[in-house]
Structure 1
Amino acid sequence: MANTWGYGAMTNHFGDVTKNAKMMLVIGANSAVANPVGGMKHMLQAKDRNNAKLVVVDPVFTRTAAKADMYIRIRPGTDIAFIYGVLHLIFKNGWEDKEVIKTQTYAVEEIKEEAAKWTPEEVANVTGCTQEELIKFATMYANTKPATLFWSLGITQHSVGSSNTRILSILQLVLGNMGKEGGGCNIIRGHDNVQGATDMNCLADSLPGYYGLADGVWKHFCQGWGVEYDKFIKRFAVSTKEKREKLGQKVEGTNFSEYFYHDEKNPEDRNWRNEKGYSLSKWYQGVLKEENTFSSGNLRVLWVQGTGITSMAQQIKIQEALTKLDMLVVVEPFLNEVAILSDRTDGIYVLPACTQFESEGHLSATNRSAQWRTKVINPIYESKEDQDVMFAFAKKFGFYDEYVKGMKMGVVDGVIKQVKDDFKWPDDATDEIARTTQSIGDNGRTAARLRKHQENWHNFDPETLMGRGPVEGEYYGLPWPCWDEEHPGTPILYDISKPYVKGGMGFRNRFGLVHNGVSQLADDSITLPGAKVKGGYAQITKENIEKILGITLTEEEKAKMGPSWSMDYSGIIAKKCREAGICPYGNARARTKVWEFLDPIPKHREPIHSPRWDLVAKYPTFGDQAKNFRVSTKYISEQTEQDWSKEFPTVMSSLRLVNLSGAGMIERTSKYLSEITPEMFAHVNPKLAAKYGIRDGSMMWIHAPQGTKIKVKCIYSESVTPDRICLPYNFAGIFQGEDLSARYPQDTKPYTIGESSNTVTNYGFDPVTQISEFNAGLCRLEKA
């Protein structure tokens, strides 16, 4: 299983904000304390240099809000309602970018129709902001160009997280801020390689480069890995038609494992290689089988490497699953506290991995730029680099040669083949990534180019990213898409003012040519400077390239060419598109309506555990999901089981600390960083604390709807209103009041331990990404 966090990619970059932004909206983010804290510097510089206005919308008065020109407090889980209120005023006053809507968008009329319902009165009722605040902000934001916005986990970690990200992008699209310097959507990724990990798709529902799980994709990767597709797919279980028919007659809760196996006679039948895996949010259901679970068998082993399980929700379920596993493997530089969460004493293996300073390779920063990182020292003691651990694993289980073969591949005269007998780490791994992840335009991000950028850091302008001298004409880190080794990278996505050779591009054509009788291609007026193809066009494939580009291919070129721009190892499609001055992925309209989703257009839906029972009937959550990521998930049945706010009247949101990241397992092993926040706590308004007789600095219990509780220190704070609390999620080592210190192996206990807030994180998951609802749950306080 793997992570499924639905952020989105940063369209611009921090230097661009510093140089060009005139208006900044920060919603669901707190860059003053959350990684990367350097983002706050750029915001403050934009205020100083451009007189840019900073507006913060957040349920909590944060350190970022303290620097804002305007702060608007809204109720957790009401971001969509707030933005629709802004759009209501934009359309009412004619502030929308009519030309962009006409030439580059689809279905904005339906957004306008939904926005009409969100009057200032209704927005104030649902979100808690005042009508005056809404009107003042909308007027300022809509009439200041260019305007940019930032979001982070406060937007994505909701049962409507996917819709939250969509409505913010739609706001920028309607105002014409997409593809503009100083505009765009700047999603703040937390750690130094969150974007890179996402690009590599450490996910349960897709492959590296955001490819799906269709057989055509598996064939593409098998070709790039140098393995035979027919042999490769035999490792996956399949279900035959007869078995599936039997399965359909079974009642819910049946163990399905007996119905799935590999059928030699029907290799193309329905199979698990085309199915999503378990998500990181609900992997435990593969062990516990409490909800309807679809799988070829029970999960028996959990391998944890590079992620903080204690930063996941539903800690009580995770603890139960850990106890039932056959084996738990933890590969970390510092002990991941998943190793001590359960009371099991056997079947746990801790393998010491080294730190970033003891390894080498590239990462992708929040703005899509790659950064080469050189090894400082060799791994100390018995620790190993991550790849060496995986190599040892592959050798032990007999697939090492297949595992590393992709690094020995290369393209010779337009044909991909094995070109060497051994590989050089990490250069050949980097080049393999560039070859295979064509879907994001990774082709030009080779190890040689990235090493050259590291050597020439001093030759790049930090505000434009443009290089000089040895790196003249290239943007720092070759931000993807970087279509080939001649391309400079793309610092700003969807910028139609620049030619292809300088990073210009329209919107990607991904969803067909026509929907409901409406063309999904951009207007004829949307043409990149110097492009030979005028107006909108489909993504380039082997089938349509001659017609769209007006060229004739040789028979040799046709034989070498892959089926489409994203699966063409020959490089011929990229070359022909370069010559025509166009992007291989097409030139389309940005769709505001996602017809495959449960909500084709974003809609406000009350949190699963809403504090406003009076609004649940009007804005209900989704229907229960029968199957997604191999499990069923409750929505409306959980929301309407009872009025949860009667027993749990206080809203609960998470917060971040500048000295701790993720589960805090690294920083809490530092006595200096631990001293800053030596114990777990929650910020509580003095009026709320007085209601329960809780003193400032005293201990209290926080109870959650699922029957869990944590014991933490109460810290009086006016940053939260009397109806809500906020608390960090960076602690572990104490579980529902029980000190787990005795379970730590010798010399591994951190300087600071505490309750994990995710023990009381409420039930709730996004229907698309299955991210947990960390930021809009309910709780009840009690004096300890």
Structure 2
Amino acid sequence: MTNHFGDMEANSKVILFIGANSAVANPVGGMKHALRARDRNNAKIVVVDPVFTRTAAKADMFIRIRPGTDIAFVYGMLHLIFKNGWEDKEVIKNQSYGIDEIRQEAKHWTPEEVANVTGCKEEELISFTRLFATTKPATLCWALGITQHSVGSSNTRILSILQLVLGNMGKPGGGCNIIRGHDNVQGSTDMGNLADTLPMYYGLADSAWKHYCKGWGVDFDEFVKRFAVSTKEKRDKVGEKVKGTNFNEYFYHDPKNPEDRNWRNEKGYSLAKWWQGVLKEENTFSSGNLRVLWVQGTGITSMAHTTKIQEAVDKLDMLVVAEPFLNEVAILSDRKDGIYVLPVCTQFESEGYVTATNRSAQWRTQVIKPIYESKEDQEVMFLFAKKFGFYDELVKGMMLDVVDGEIKQVKNEFVWPDDATDEIARVGQSIGNVGRTAKRLKRHQENWHNFDPVTLMGRGPVESEYYGLPWPCWDKEHPGSPILYDITIPYEKGGMGFRNRFGLEHNGVSQLADESVTLAGAKIKGGYPQITKDNIEKVLGITLTEEEKTKIGSSWSMDYSGTILKKCREFGITPYGNARARAIVWEFPDPIPKHREPLHSPRWDLVEKYPTYDDQERNFRVASKFISEQTEKDWSKEFPTVMSSLRLVNLSGAGMIERTSKYLASITPEMFAHVNPKLAANYGIEDGAMMWIHAPQGTKIKVKCIYSESVTPDRICLPYNFAGVMQGVDLSSRYPEGTKPYTIGESSNTVTNYGFDIITQISEYNAGLCRLERA
């Protein structure tokens, strides 16, 4: 999220919700701010969605498109923007790279072709584009309806490019507002709870591991012995070349010795396809089968392909569930042993901070001590570490600090969660986390009443600080950055240009911002590279002392001494550079976003014209099908109905917590699907009757049919918040005594079609096909 909801309320003149239903999805507060923007600014609200949602009911304009065609729709907007000269020519000239290629692709997407592919009306596209492009500032919001596609990564890119082209990035009331589903989703991604990154978005290269080892007080050479290690020379000599996971690297391994790999430098299994590490149905790359699944803090039954998860659980040696409420992955299998349920605490029995969707942190004080035999999450982890012999290494980082520019041990005991928070601040330089210490966050909690809820600006004891210190918060004097990429305000007030991440030039074109683009108050004019040990003296025109040269880190994101941050503050510049925003990602299969039909497309005539990707040899340690799945047959002949997911305001995620409340459960007491009456009539299904939904993978679910005009006769939508029934079989008997929710039902993910994003491997939840049958 580049901006925040308060900024949208105060400044936005047009608000686009695309793939987002903020009126019912967490956090619902986003809708409140949009409605206030209408009252304050006469802002227009537009919803682009396959379904007429509750957000659409409050909109000034609703445009219905076919699931999986967002890129085509946005290119239709760009076609009109370039044709009418509505683009921000100065931003394109001075702060961007690759827009010419976007312009060329947009020529193809005439209103006629967009209407053909997306199903929207030409006049809707033209009218909305004129409104969005000519009204300043305009913002857009997206959520899982954008990301959960085989082209999800391209979806997010094209929306960012749209805002770049219109000059809405880095502007109050503009930007891209990505709505996170829970109160700490942003925090969990910041902390690297993914299979392809270390915390704070450090990669998996040894330079990142060395940075963390230094911050943890651990010897790197000893640390790497935990992994299967081989030398590059040996791999080059005996290995075969296998395409890597980020599309521009190649890894070498000896096919006769699968252990001969540098596993620390590679992605693990993703949450979407972890079960392939057990079932091995597709080509996998690992040293053996996954044998244990540990579930803690995630609703794994909200993952796609529930039947595959069920098969994998049956084959695991052990399943551990550490949750305050029973995670229903524990009842998928009928096995009698090898499943352990650990009662961890709720958030009310814990303390620490969460990071909200706008990058602001919020400290939460423990309300009550853990009750009964339950333990806090970290206590479970500490016990685990003690059992397996690495407890001292796990906690050592909390007893370190920077002293005279060097990491040193300063205490022999730690205080949880204060010292953990300070450790995270100390090592999280890559997102500018250094200033978000426990002391500052606690002070914000104590003075929440002294912050303006719209501007986030504080007063009194928190004067000139933004609530929650939204990152980047570069140092302990920095106020936080509520709006990313705003060059009109100084560094010390949260200003910055675009980050220099991709080299100094590409195809002979400088990747640094034009000399006319200077951060307010900066002593360095125009664009400049990210600051490193090797270039700091040249870029800043200074001479470091010998002591500074000895202690300084290799770059701004790996400098524990604080030298780079200190010098950048003196010069009023952002340590990550001042560059151009690139529209071309040359490492990706699609350097610029392209419309590609969903793997299971209802338009066989468009599959040949807009095919998906070639099959993926390897990503997250497993192969994935794309074109072979899409072209196996015309899936729409047997499965003619499009299927999308929806959210329920009374349930969230897998619903495993909310369905244990009889009051919340009573609002939606059983699983259902919204079906257009015309579609239901074709199958003889009455309103309120039970029906089967069949999917291309041979799975099915039995749910109630609810007549609804919110969907057209070619599609249905259904919630993903239920579990406890599997393909018509009631699993109630498998719940431990006292843990069964007040309501159970089929999981929609049982019929989620096969399909994954080419980059992130998120499942294609929102563009599958199905067939209905009267039960």
Is the shorter-chain TM-score for this pair beyond 0.5, marking a shared fold? yes
The one of 150, 157, 160 equivalent to 1:159 is: 150
Residue 11 of structure 1 corresponds to which residue in structure 2?
Answer: 2
Query: Within 2, Cα distance between the matches of 1:242 and 1:641?
Result: 40
The one of 590, 595, 606 equivalent to 1:615 is: 606
Residue 170 of structure 1 corresponds to which residue in structure 2?
Answer: 161
Query: Within 2, Cα distance between the matches of 1:247 and 1:577?
Result: 45
Q: Which amino acid aligns with 2:257?
A: Y
In the TM superposition, 1:53-64 aligns within 5 A as: 53-64=44-55
Q: Which amino acid aligns with 1:771?
A: I
Label 1:638 to 1:538 Cα distance change in 2 as closer, same or farther (>3 A).
Answer: same
In the TM superposition, 1:500-515 aligns within 5 A as: 500-515=491-506
Residue 91 of structure 1 corresponds to which residue in structure 2?
Answer: 82
For residue 519 of structure 1, report the CA deviation from its aligned partner: 0.2
SS of the equivalent of 2:593 reads coil
Residue 723 of structure 1 corresponds to which residue in structure 2?
Answer: 714
Query: Within 2, Cα distance between the matches of 1:312 and 1:436?
Result: 31
Residue 289 of structure 2 corresponds to which residue in structure 1?
Answer: 298
Contact 1:104 1:523 in 2 (8 A): yes
Residue 325 of structure 1 corresponds to which residue in structure 2?
Answer: 316
Query: Within 2, Cα distance between the matches of 1:238 and 1:401?
Result: 24
1:378 aligns to 2:378 (yes or no): no
In the TM superposition, 1:185-204 aligns within 5 A as: 185-204=176-195
In the TM superposition, 1:236-385 aligns within 5 A as: 236-239=227-230, 248=240, 259-261=257-259, 271-385=262-376
Contact 1:247 1:259 in 2 (8 A): no
SS of the equivalent of 2:342 reads strand
Residue 760 of structure 1 corresponds to which residue in structure 2?
Answer: 751
In the TM superposition, 1:332-731 aligns within 5 A as: 332-731=323-722
Residue 37 of structure 2 corresponds to which residue in structure 1?
Answer: 46
1:220 aligns to 2:211 (yes or no): yes
Label 1:245 to 1:722 Cα distance change in 2 as closer, same or farther (>3 A).
Answer: farther
Query: Within 1, Cα distance between the matches of 2:141 and 2:685?
Result: 36
Query: Within 2, Cα distance between the matches of 1:681 and 1:245?
Result: 58
Query: Within 2, Cα distance between the matches of 1:693 and 1:279?
Result: 41
For residue 342 of structure 1, report the CA deviation from its aligned partner: 1.2
For residue 201 of structure 1, report the CA deviation from its aligned partner: 1.1
The one of 172, 181, 197 equivalent to 2:172 is: 181
Query: Within 1, Cα distance between the matches of 2:241 and 2:492?
Result: 57
SS of the equivalent of 1:660 reads coil
Contact 2:239 2:255 in 1 (8 A): no
Residue 245 of structure 2 corresponds to which residue in structure 1?
Answer: none
Residue 114 of structure 1 corresponds to which residue in structure 2?
Answer: 105
Label 1:342 to 1:536 Cα distance change in 2 as closer, same or farther (>3 A).
Answer: same
Query: Within 2, Cα distance between the matches of 1:350 and 1:197?
Result: 22
Q: Deviations over 1:133-168 (max 9, x none)?
A: 000000010000000000000000000000000000
Q: Which runs of 5+ in 2 are unaligned?
A: 243-252
Residue 65 of structure 2 corresponds to which residue in structure 1?
Answer: 74
SS of the equivalent of 1:479 reads coil
Query: Within 2, Cα distance between the matches of 1:259 and 1:670?
Result: 52
For residue 239 of structure 1, report the CA deviation from its aligned partner: 4.1
Query: Within 1, Cα distance between the matches of 2:86 and 2:236?
Result: 54
Q: Deviations over 1:689-728 (max 9, x none)?
A: 0000000000000000000000000000000000000000
Q: Which amino acid aligns with 1:154?
A: G
Residue 265 of structure 1 corresponds to which residue in structure 2?
Answer: none
The one of 745, 762, 771 equivalent to 1:780 is: 771
Q: Deviations over 1:535-580 (max 9, x none)?
A: 0000000000011011110000010100000000011100000000
Query: Within 1, Cα distance between the matches of 2:606 and 2:255?
Result: 42
Query: Within 2, Cα distance between the matches of 1:248 and 1:573?
Result: 41
SS of the equivalent of 2:408 reads strand
For residue 339 of structure 1, report the CA deviation from its aligned partner: 0.2
Query: Within 1, Cα distance between the matches of 2:198 and 2:239?
Result: 28
Q: Which runs of 5+ in 1 are unaligned?
A: 1-9, 263-269
In the TM superposition, 1:719-758 aligns within 5 A as: 719-758=710-749
Contact 2:349 2:369 in 1 (8 A): yes
Measured on the aligned residues, the alpha-carbon RMSD in Å equals: 1.2
Residue 3 of structure 1 corresponds to which residue in structure 2?
Answer: none
Contact 2:235 2:254 in 1 (8 A): no
Label 1:249 to 1:653 Cα distance change in 2 as closer, same or farther (>3 A).
Answer: closer
SS of the equivalent of 1:116 reads helix
Contact 1:624 1:637 in 2 (8 A): yes
Q: Which amino acid aligns with 1:438?
A: Q
SS of the equivalent of 2:407 reads strand
TM-score normalised per structure 1: 0.96
Contact 1:244 1:259 in 2 (8 A): no
Residue 6 of structure 1 corresponds to which residue in structure 2?
Answer: none
Query: Within 2, Cα distance between the matches of 1:345 and 1:243?
Result: 44
Give the aligned length.
Answer: 764
Q: Deviations over 1:725-777 (max 9, x none)?
A: 00000000000000000000111100000000000000000011000000000
Q: Deviations over 1:416-463 (max 9, x none)?
A: 111110100000000000011100000000000000000100111111
Query: Within 2, Cα distance between the matches of 1:242 and 1:501?
Result: 49
SS of the equivalent of 1:64 reads helix
For residue 394 of structure 1, report the CA deviation from its aligned partner: 0.5
Contact 1:685 1:722 in 2 (8 A): yes
Query: Within 1, Cα distance between the matches of 2:676 and 2:239?
Result: 54
Q: Which amino acid aligns with 1:649?
A: P
Q: Which amino acid aligns with 1:745?
A: P
Q: Deviations over 1:610-661 (max 9, x none)?
A: 0000000000000001111000000000000000000000000000000101
Query: Within 1, Cα distance between the matches of 2:305 and 2:739?
Result: 25
Query: Within 2, Cα distance between the matches of 1:733 and 1:340?
Result: 8
Contact 1:22 1:53 in 2 (8 A): yes
For residue 261 of structure 1, report the CA deviation from its aligned partner: 4.0
Contact 1:257 1:296 in 2 (8 A): no
For residue 50 of structure 1, report the CA deviation from its aligned partner: 0.4
Query: Within 1, Cα distance between the matches of 2:504 and 2:341?
Result: 52
The ranges of structure 1 where at least 4 consecutive aligned residues each deviate by more than 6 angstroms after the TM superposition are 255-258
Contact 1:237 1:260 in 2 (8 A): no
Query: Within 2, Cα distance between the matches of 1:536 and 1:607?
Result: 40
Contact 2:278 2:290 in 1 (8 A): yes
For residue 247 of structure 1, report the CA deviation from its aligned partner: 6.0
Query: Within 2, Cα distance between the matches of 1:293 and 1:745?
Result: 35
SS of the equivalent of 1:761 reads coil
Q: Which amino acid aligns with 1:81?
A: A
TM-score normalised per structure 2: 0.98
Query: Within 1, Cα distance between the matches of 2:178 and 2:450?
Result: 26
Q: Deviations over 1:168-187 (max 9, x none)?
A: 00000000000000000000
For residue 238 of structure 1, report the CA deviation from its aligned partner: 2.6
Query: Within 2, Cα distance between the matches of 1:529 and 1:284?
Result: 51
